[in-house]
Structure 1
């Protein structure tokens, strides 16, 4: 007797709970056919969900494709054309007659029907022309950059008219990707301008002899090779959406052969002072639900397009496209990014085991309570890891070439391929960590540092560093995430994390016992434990990768500073940009720490342009160095304040130039790439690109402050996130400007460098911030300083 089974898996199916769609048995009496109605129902609902998503994608593509017009405007145009035709007027100046002459008309069509056909054709032509004209006009408006250089309160008439026109064209509610086709392309700066700005940026860092030598190299490059390379770059800019982004992604990220853990990946932290629930499974349930709701908003394009704060100027949304269902695939020469359109499960790691957790049931998203129930099942699962499974994730933490070779050799077929596919195709990765983390215990400051390090690298094998992002939920309910860098920059991930934290605490919430809310279906199939067959040779490679990753992780020195003495509110009273204030404080702190200045990297976004990523603001300038020297040498306070304001204005101008496509480093980087393609050497470019960034800084923006109720719940404050040091002998500093009265800093460096110390540098930052505000407060001409009494200052310091 022969039995044949065909099995259809639905969301959340485990090996012990498989639904058989149909089973037939061949017997001497014939074929006995049995159908499983439940399994067929799941197949139907799964297909229905898939077709619904396709329809929504097509609908949104049409809506975004005709923006800033509306699809319904087509009907209005056609009806208007028909009305003019019935009144025997010709709005087409003879074009309608031409269409009628060449229209293959059936004899069965009446004259009225022919008029309708002609009206539809001509109306559609007019409608498309109108759309193209509107999009071109919007693109021209968005190419205007002078507004960003105008001072607050001194806006020109041109800029005011421009802002009104932008608002009029953006009147209809846009979808997430509505502006994409109207965003301008990133301009290519002139070689002369870039070199001039470069030489100005390095002048305070070089001796007179070194600067003269570099000036000679730059002049030679500008007059000879630079012109040739620039021609190729302009040619690329004509046909590419962005002349930088594809090369930046490939050569800076995907071709890197060193570990991405610490060197590239970054992290985001939970609320600083509160944990919504101490139940690990419950926190994981709400977090997963919030992430999936955010994914739904992206798929439906319900997220509002990001704008420059306080303006109607849109930012590029391209980075949102690969947020979910994305994995970095290792290669021997270069990695690749693989993105899938959809995934109905997440991959979960706990105590050395990997699980597939389905997040849909009967075509609907599981409730937070159901997700908590499923996570609890994983936490309670007593099964041990397969041999070699526990530390398998170390392959993603070590060097890229060994991982690429191991993937090709040991994960190309069979059970290993199926399990690896399951992880790589998951919506995202979840780690259920057995440690407790957070600002807690007898030494909260030290524990906060440990928490940051855990999010950055964990145990080096309990994160899947190749996933677009991995969520970490600790035993005590604290959470965080680790993000891969090649697909997007921190502001995009920060936008996601803000939504997740706000939804978790204020929308989804917990019951009185700390459990998730929602209905529970106890018949949910168990999460599926993945199976592996890891040979000894592969286990040896895992061990080697772990050794590399562990050495790197152990070398990281980390310090997190929640600075509550004051915040942006006090700084803005002095009419100073909070970002410029912090950057000058960092320059002062570094000078006190090392007794010198250094090349400083501050990340700026270029998302005003299509597919824009980042640009570098070289924060160490002639003006900032002059101010720091004057302050440290005891110059008169009036002189120091004047130099401080000049330095702050210079920093703001550098930031504006970077945002508007007139930065230095991306242009020089692309010229270098062109030189490599042409096989020519440039001593100037080679030296520029080899200069180390000993102070690498980045601000984590707060983009959705409306999601948080900081008036009634001021303790629900995110600590931001951080990253590892860029140079072996340098510092990495990430900071977030929270509300009105708090700055948070994440400082990293390496223990192996005797000249750096994260805690020492943190102390210098804290003192520099206080010294700068004290300097501003002693200005008798400054209303903000005059109105601040010593008693008020002391009171605010104790908050």
Structure 2
């Protein structure tokens, strides 16, 4: 180990000189100078690329070359003895500096004035085009039109949008043209809120809440609304900065389980069983994605099946980012670049360089470097093995320890390596995946491993961490404050597809490519962990372990049917799933609850998420009718009414007319003003006992499921939001499968993830039978809800 460090230090010295009696002795290391030259060349290439991209996206939807076209057109018109500027060129010529009048001929002055006029005209056209594009992207009526009946207005709108978006855009080209998130009216928000809680409250309870809402609207509400509208005038997005700070960064509890989420590998396939090889291809694929992000070569995400772009701002902090703890609030730190990744294996931390002289290492070279880490026999330093538990426990103790013991010296340098790394990698010693004699149970253990692991073998503060298991399975754990799941899912889709289909493996399971044997070994990070820090590590680990042990995860693929069968019934798959979840919850718990379904607001600049309150009057009417064994035709009518209601709620949330983000921001304003609102306080304290989210498949072109049906993604999941509730994540894969991730807490006797999973499957089958039944007889027997406890099972 000492020899490796000395070798790296020797290579890092480009020159050294000493003064002797004979004079100055200068020694040059040409190899080191060459490395410095190549590294600097890469850095300058990146700077030039960034400058070029700024120009290209700055003039979008026009192109830089269009300037030359305008100049030639103006000069050609002037050559034909016509003045296209209507006298402006002459006025510009009159106002040229005196020095130019002296140094340039009259014809030269005219040419320069024409160039200035052409440039101003070109910029004016760009601003006009951008303004038109922004107006077009502000049109959302298309979303509320029935499928197959497009209005003339929408057809014209689509045509104009295609014309303005014809040129190939960069990743961030649309950013300045995206509209700002509008502030809904107080009246509309309160009206929709009361409608959403009506099925959850008794008569007196609903009357009391109506009174609180009315009082709020007539008194404090309008005052808070004025401040919120003022913020919306100057802020890019009136929600996102407060949402990031107060929902995520100011949370003082553990982010493990409570905030972080996970993504899984393929369900049936493991491309290689060689751990180092899987790590090599996975790391390479992630770095190729980072290169595309840096060069803005990724296509902007769009609403599926349309040309409508989505905000790409969340991509900016994907790599080289970490969440650093604070006493009152955490801070997201982002660095422009990093040439290494941080690796954890058997209690040791390593710095793995992924570039050599400005060149990205080949997958086989990264595999070789990872294998060196796996083969390293050195033991962990005192206090090093479980150091990561600090990121899994409460935030305040971690902040205090970090400030006192990681502010300087060897600890500061090692912590900098982890925090500045492109991302974090854990080489896990376990086998995971759907395997062995208990595939269902192993999937559950796989989910728990990705969600929290051993509570100390992940660095939960990193924007995301990659876990590569001993049998070649992999997965991802993502920190939530910097971005939402669709952004990370896009990254993970690209990684899995590039790993399996583009990079590939040799017949014996190793990465492809050549290996430079002279590469310096990965560098062990050094620590000086005093007893005080080790005590806090043990304390944080105890907090995290208690939280991890309480999580009940259940992952199951539903294979009986998928979106193909659902769409044949002319039903939205998402509405079908959400209504099935309502029926499943009613059967499981004997009632209804406040339900959270995540929707995106990325149609707007810097948009993140909005809540769809899936438990509605219409959904409750349908569930009660099914549970009560009412006539089939009546149940079908109620189902379609509830599905249409759900779709409308989803559209409202996507187009900026949601409820919860508006109420949340009003509450933040009230706190800034130091005034209390009984109404807002009660609204913001309501528990989400059923929290749901769909993981979208965004890049279907990467996966050929017809020819490779075994390459099916499992999606990902998250922990329960409420102590007595469920967290449900699902991913619609192909036409015939839907994968579910259910989480709850063992400490709640009324919840059970496996039982709820069974209720979901039963609800799916029952609703499909109801919608597919040809006659009018009762499709389902009368079965009043029977709330169960774990002791009864």
Q: TM-score by structure 2 length?
A: 0.96
Aligned length: 773
The equivalent residue for 2:96 is: 103
Q: Which residue does the alignment assign to 2:411? A: 416
Maintained 8 Å contact 1:13/1:358: no
**Who is 1:6 aligned against?**
none
What's the counterpart of residue 604 of structure 2?
609
In the alignment, structure 1 residue 742 sits paired with structure 2 residue 755: no
**For residue 677 of structure 2, what is the aligned residue in structure 1?**
682
Pairing partner for 1:391 from 386, 389, 393 = 386
Deviations 1:646-696 (A, max 9, x none): 000000000000000000000000000000000000000000000000000
Q: Which residue in the other structure is 2:782 paired with?
A: none
Corresponding residue to 1:589 among 584, 592, 600 = 584
- CA shift, 1:108, in A, is 2.9
What residue number does 1:53 align with?
46
1:567 maps to which of 550, 562, 570: 562
- Comparing 274-283 with 81-90, greater Cα deviation is found at 81-90
What is the match of residue 309 of structure 2?
314
Residue 63 (structure 2) aligns with:
70
SS of the aligned residue for 1:766 comes to: helix
Counterpart for residue 188 of structure 2: 193
Give me the whole-angstrom Cα distance separating, in 2, the residues matched to 1:710 and 1:511.
22
Whole-Å separation in 2 of the counterparts to 1:674 and 1:574:
46
The SS at the match of 1:482 is strand
CA 449–294 in structure 1, closer or farther in 2 if over 3 Å, else same = same
Aligned to 2:502: 507
Question: Does 2:502 correspond to 1:519?
Answer: no
Which residue matches 2:788? none
Checking the alignment, whether the CA contact within 8 Å between 2:322 and 2:462 is kept in structure 1 is yes
Is 1:344 the counterpart of 2:344? The answer is: no
- Match of 2:790? none
* 8 Å CA contact retained: 2:428, 2:467: yes
1:685-764 equivalent positions in 2, closer than 5 A: 685-764=680-759
Question: What is aligned with 1:34?
Answer: 27
Shift of 1:116: 1.7
Query: Aligned to 1:86, which of 79, 99, 114?
Result: 79
1:181 alignment partner, SS class: helix
Q: Deviations over 1:515-567 (max 9, x none)?
A: 00011111111001100001100111111000000000000000001110100
- Structure 1 Cα separation of the partners of residues 12 and 638 of structure 2: 74
Give the drift of 1:81.
1.3
Unpaired runs of 5+ in structure 1? 1-9, 786-799
Structure 1 residue 206 displacement after superposition: 0.2
Measure, in 2, the Cα distance between the counterparts of 1:375 and 1:98: 68
2:789 is matched with: none
Q: Distance in 2 between matches of 1:444 and 1:327?
A: 35
Give the C-alpha shift of residue 289 in structure 1: 0.2
* 1:671 paired to 2:666: yes
Distance in 1 (CA, whole Å) between partners of 2:443 and 2:261 is: 16
* Structure 1 residue 485: Cα displacement: 0.2
Work out the CA distance in 1 between the residues paired with 2:508 and 2:198: 62
Is the contact made by 1:271 and 1:719 (CA closer than 8 Å) also made in structure 2? yes
C-alpha change, 1:442 and 1:179, in structure 2 (3 Å) is same
Partner Cα separation in structure 1 for residue 228 and residue 188 of structure 2: 15
Task: Report the alpha carbon displacement of residue 244 of structure 1 after superposing the two structures with TM.
Answer: 0.2
The one of 642, 649, 668 equivalent to 1:647 is: 642
CA positional deviation for 1:514: 0.1
The answer on 1:558 being equivalent to 2:542 is no
Q: Which residue does the alignment assign to 2:438?
A: 443
Structure 1 residue 20, shift from structure 2 partner = 2.5
Rate the CA distance shift 1:13–1:124 in 2: closer, same or farther, 3 A.
farther
Task: Tell me the secondary structure at the aligned position of residue 224 of structure 1.
Answer: helix
Residue 714 of structure 1: how far off its partner (Å): 0.3
Large movers: runs of 4+ above 4 Å: 12-17
> How much does 1:386 deviate?
1.1
Question: How far apart, CA to CA, are the structure 2 residues paired with 1:777 and 1:625?
Answer: 21
- Residue 424 of structure 1 and its aligned partner are, at CA, apart by 0.1
C-alpha distance 732-14 of structure 1, shift in aligned 2 (>3 A): farther
1:43 to 36, 50, 53: 36
Whole-Å separation in 1 of the counterparts to 2:148 and 2:537: 60
The structure-2 alpha-carbon separation of the partners of 1:14 and 1:250, relative to structure 1 and needing over 3 Å to count, comes to: farther
Q: CA RMSD in A?
A: 1.3
Deviation of 1:16 (Å): 7.0
Cα deviation per residue 1:557-585 (whole Å; 9 max; x = unaligned)? 00001110100000000000000000000
Cα separation, 2, equivalents of 1:559 and 1:417: 40
**What is the CA deviation profile of residues 322-370 of structure 1, one whole-angstrom value per residue up to 9, with x for unaligned ones?**
0000000100000000000000110000001100001111211000000
Q: Which residue of 2 aligns with 1:242?
A: 237
